[in-house]
Chains A and B, each alone.
Chain A
């Protein structure tokens, strides 16, 4: 849950990137870190395996300026996507304010996206949170791979699989190229801030 500090006039907001393994969650954060390096005063924290896979989480804090006179500190986290790391994934979700679900648009990953979204729903339920109530944005990553002849799921299929009940904003994207990475981030920040702005008096 976002913590509002009336003394420092500051609010800390936690946004978590979720999704199947090798889907591009860390790549999203790396792009943001690179793009906004002038605004980010600290180094991105990553806890990964020797094989460069996320083991626990990545963490990237940055300031977006003031809302209602409060300094807003956005804290971006990723979870490890691999199925076996569910215990650590659940820990990262604690106190989440907003979510980006990074789906892998490659046709071969269709099932993994659906399972990961279901896993997110279960893990949120563990904290008595509903997937339908936490602000969320979907990102269909790797759409650029179509140019290389790799079979990509049509957006309509991804929408049908993942967004038919959530009915939230979604972006076809390429985290590697940076396409729609910032648009995704802006959307989740605005949805998340809308959900807590009433508390900033």
Chain B
């Protein structure tokens, strides 16, 4: 069994990732599903990250944090952020089956990034429509 998105949906999502995030200075952004598959990704042409490994780890990390949330009586932590010296990672859940992961340097403030991520998430929700991962 498998699932897919249409060419137009993927074009729409990639445009959002490019215009709302890469164009403001984010180094790398990708949309994944909870199994760790990459749905769409964009980067600034300079980042050389192994996105497939990152996607697998990000899905696992988010899953682990969700399981922790349930243990302490929270439905979920919908937002995760890891701070590094030069690069930072921001995770944002999109509907129940997808995650957007943004890698950005300290040149962008977290507040501004969150604002732009929220805008992008709303657009991506619209682009995804009523898709359900089987």
Contact A87 B57 (CB under 8 A): no
B59: A residues at CB distance < 8 A: 94
Which residue from A3, A47, A59, A97 sits with its C-beta under 8 Å from B4?
A3
Q: How many angstroms from the CA of A1 to the CA of B1 in the assembled complex?
A: 6
How many A-B residue pairs lie within 8 Å, measured between CB atoms?
93
**A18 part of interface (Cβ distance < 8 Å):** no
Q: How many angstroms from the CA of A29 to the CA of B2 in the assembled complex?
A: 24
**B75 part of interface (Cβ distance < 8 Å):** no
A171 to chain B, nearest CB (A): 25
Q: How many angstroms from the CA of A95 to the CA of B132 in the assembled complex?
A: 13
- CB-CB contacts below 8 Å: A10-57 with B: 11-12, 14, 42-43, 45, 47, 56-57
Known pairs A6-B4, A57-B60, A95-B35; A1 contacts B133 (CB<8 A): yes
Which residue from B34, B38, B50, B64 sits with its C-beta under 8 Å from A12?
B38
**B39 part of interface (Cβ distance < 8 Å):** yes
Contact B52 A3 (CB under 8 A): no
A42: B residues at CB distance < 8 A: 50, 52-53
Q: How many angstroms from the CA of A68 to the CA of B105 in the assembled complex?
A: 40
Contact A5 B39 (CB under 8 A): yes
**Interface size, A (range):** 20 to 34
Binding site for B on A (CB under 8 A): 1-7, 11-12, 14, 42-43, 45, 47, 56-57, 59, 61, 73, 75, 77, 87-88, 91-92, 94-97, 195-196, 199
A7: B residues at CB distance < 8 A: 7, 10-11
Q: How many angstroms from the CA of A196 to the CA of B2 in the assembled complex?
A: 6
- 30 A/B residue pairs, CB under 8 Å, sorted by A: A1-B1, A1-B3, A1-B35, A1-B134, A3-B2, A3-B35, A3-B37, A4-B4, A5-B10, A5-B39, A7-B11, A12-B38, A14-B35, A14-B37, A47-B57, A47-B60, A57-B60, A59-B53, A75-B52, A88-B60, A91-B60, A91-B64, A92-B60, A94-B35, A94-B59, A94-B63, A95-B35, A95-B133, A196-B1, A199-B1
Q: How many angstroms from the CA of A59 to the CA of B58 in the assembled complex?
A: 12
Contact A95 B38 (CB under 8 A): no
- CB-CB contacts below 8 Å: B49-73 with A: 50, 52-53, 56-57, 59-60, 63-64, 67
**B6 part of interface (Cβ distance < 8 Å):** yes
Contact B6 A95 (CB under 8 A): no
B67: A residues at CB distance < 8 A: 87, 91
Contact B33 A95 (CB under 8 A): yes
